[in-house]
Amino acid sequence: MNSILIIDDDDQLRNSFKKLLAEEGYKVESAASGEAGLNIVKNESLDLVILDIRLPGMNGIETFKKIHGIEPKLPVIIMTAYGTTETAIETTKLGAFDYILKPFDIPDMLELIRLALNASRFMRSPVGIDTIPEEFSRDAIVGRSTEMQEIYKAIGRVSPTDASVLIRGESGTGKELVARAIYQHSLRAEKPFLVINCVAIPETLLESELFGYEKGAFTGATHRRVGKIEQAHEGTVFLDEIGDMPINLQAKILRLLQEKSIERLGGREKIGTDVRIIAATNRDLEEAISAGRFREDLYCRLKVVTIWLPPLRERQSDIPVLADYFLSRFSAEKGISNPGITGEAKAIFSKHPWPGNVRELANTIQKALIFNRGAPLSSEEIAQVKNEKSHTVDSTDDNGDALLRQWLRKELATRSGENLFDSCMDSIASLMISEALNICEGNRSRAAKLLGLSRPTMHSKIEKYRLKFETLVKEDN
Ligand SMILES: Nc1ncnc2c1ncn2[C@@H]1O[C@H](COP(=O)(O)OP(=O)(O)OP(=O)(O)O)[C@@H](O)[C@H]1O
Ligand SMILES: [Mg+2]
């Protein structure tokens, strides 16, 4: 369970915040002053601090500096009211994760918390290389094939240099894991690691997210904002899915690599920035260059150190090893004993082409374990999980699709108005969540994993749709 410390002298805010975050499934500590907060930072293991900038006694910025000195990788979100925004901006320059203006909307705050916790996990949870961790809760790069041995050597060679690295390979081959391993073994391991997913953020936002902006740079830019690259000064920036980065931003990244400086949007000043770039993509960059979607000069600059992750089907000997690893890991996460796997099922695994690579293998085992009752995973169980997928697709195409359309037509015929779309989407989302909860016997964490949602998002959706399950109390941690 993630543990969050709130430092704010406002009793009411602290208490309501505490309640809200506890409902979201977080463990919450609180302190009314910087001094008390620091004590908790020294003595407890925390994943995130939310800090008010205006505090009696030791002020927020001093408190931040001390926390950052003790635990440089502990993310800190600064809360600020109008009038103290400049200080909050300064604090982000010193390494605070981000700041949020008071009063804030709860969903915005929860989203920021989710992002910060994710960043924290990336920086602080070590990726094991070719060593299966004993407690299975950690990420590890598993595989003994000669292809993977080459990857481990490459990680070892490039990590301690400051060279930019380009990681390529099909979806699900482990590019993100490799990026984290390089960072963790680099000379910058004690400095920040910031992840930017170039497809997940809309183009206009991506630019301000990366480079920041000056007050008045565009309508709505009421304050200066420090971008992620500037914030990662002396650290590492992971540009995930770089093949999808808009072309005008590619020019700016190239300039950063050549001149080691950036300019904020609407700013004239060049800001010297020392960051190491690690980039990843599953796109065919050569084809993107011919199509004019990717700059050749950036490609040439990035490709000097390229790590190619081979698809799983080209390193068949890793499949049984990975299958054993995921079985142990997911059983441990579920708190059950590892049922093992029959030889026949392993043989089926080894022959499967795994177009979704390691991610698909992990998902298959995770789903098979949901229905398993303790006997070794059999080929029938595997077939069931695999068929179920195609079965669901088929039934959606014929039957399910027809039923859904019928219902939608009825809604469209009998209702109209502004939120018809949202309310239909809500009905579907609510059904999906309640089905997932049914499959997972009311266990929210497992249902969240099944749906690919974070636990806090799952919790807020259960609240939103007021889903009631007698078994909802059965949490797994
Ligand atoms: N060699 C490996 N050992 C153990 N787990 C792995 C390995 N490779 C990948 N995984 C796991 O598979 C999943 C997908 O890996 P990852 O997110 O790194 O893939 P990716 O190459 O970044 O995919 P995409 O292109 O879709 O973003 C993750 O859960 C990761 O932990
Ligand atoms: Mg990825």
Report pLDDT digits (tens) over 217-237.
888 888 888 899 998 989 999
Comparing 145-149, 174-178, 372-376, 466-470, the range with the smallest average pLDDT is 466-470
- The span from the CA of 469 to the CA of 161, in Å, is 53
- The span from the CA of 88 to the CA of 76, in Å, is 11
- Work out the end-to-end distance of the chain between its first and last CA atoms, rounded to an integer number of angstroms: 7
* Ligand 1 contacts CB of residue 381 (under 6 A): no
- 225, 276 contact by CB (below 8 A): no
CATH 3.30.565.10 given to domain 3-124: no
Domain 159-310 in the same topology as domain 3-124: yes
Q: Counting atoms of ligand 1 from 1, which one is nearest the CA of 140?
A: 4
Query: What residue has token string 């997940």?
Result: 200
Q: Whose CA is nearest to atom 12 of ligand 1?
A: 359
* Ligand 1 contacts CB of residue 169 (under 6 A): yes
Task: Give the distance (Å) from ligand 2 centre to CA of residue 178.
Answer: 10
Residue 134 pLDDT class (50, 70, 90 cuts): low
Q: pLDDT > 90: what percent of the chain?
A: 50
* Ligand 1 contacts CB of residue 129 (under 6 A): no
* Ligand 1 contacts CB of residue 198 (under 6 A): no
- 381, 342 contact by CB (below 8 A): no
Angle at 245 between CA 244 and CA 251, to 5 degrees: 145
Q: Is the pLDDT of residue 138 over 70?
A: no
- The span from the CA of 90 to the CA of 301, in Å, is 32
Q: How many residues does this entry show for the chain? A: 477
For the chain, domain boundaries: 3-124, 159-310, 415-477
Task: Give the distance (Å) from ligand 1 centre to CA of residue 177.
Answer: 6
* Ligand 1 contacts CB of residue 358 (under 6 A): yes
Q: Which of 54, 24, 115 is nearest to 458 (CA)?
A: 24
- 136, 125 contact by CB (below 8 A): no
Q: Which residues pair with 341 in a beta bridge?
A: 377
How many CB atoms sit inside 10 A of residue 123's CB?
A: 24
How many CB atoms sit inside 10 A of residue 409's CB?
A: 10
- 48, 2 contact by CB (below 8 A): yes
Task: Give the distance (Å) from ligand 1 centre to CA of residue 128.
Answer: 13
415-477: CATH superfamily: Homeodomain-like (1.10.10.60)
The phi and psi torsions of 7 (rounded to 5 degrees) equal -115, 110
Task: Give the distance (Å) from ligand 2 centre to CA of residue 369.
Answer: 24
Q: Determine the pLDDT at residue 181.
A: 92
70, two tokens: 């003790």
Q: Which of 22, 37, 126, 33 is nearest to 76 (CA)?
A: 37
- The span from the CA of 132 to the CA of 141, in Å, is 8
* pLDDT tens-digit map of 180-215: 999 999 999 988 899 998 887 888 889 999 999 998
Query: Which uninterrupted H or E stretch holds 122?
Result: helix 106-124
Q: Counting atoms of ligand 1 from 1, which one is nearest the CA of 282?
A: 25
Give the domain 159-310 fold.
Answer: Rossmann fold (3.40.50)
* Ligand 1 contacts CB of residue 323 (under 6 A): no
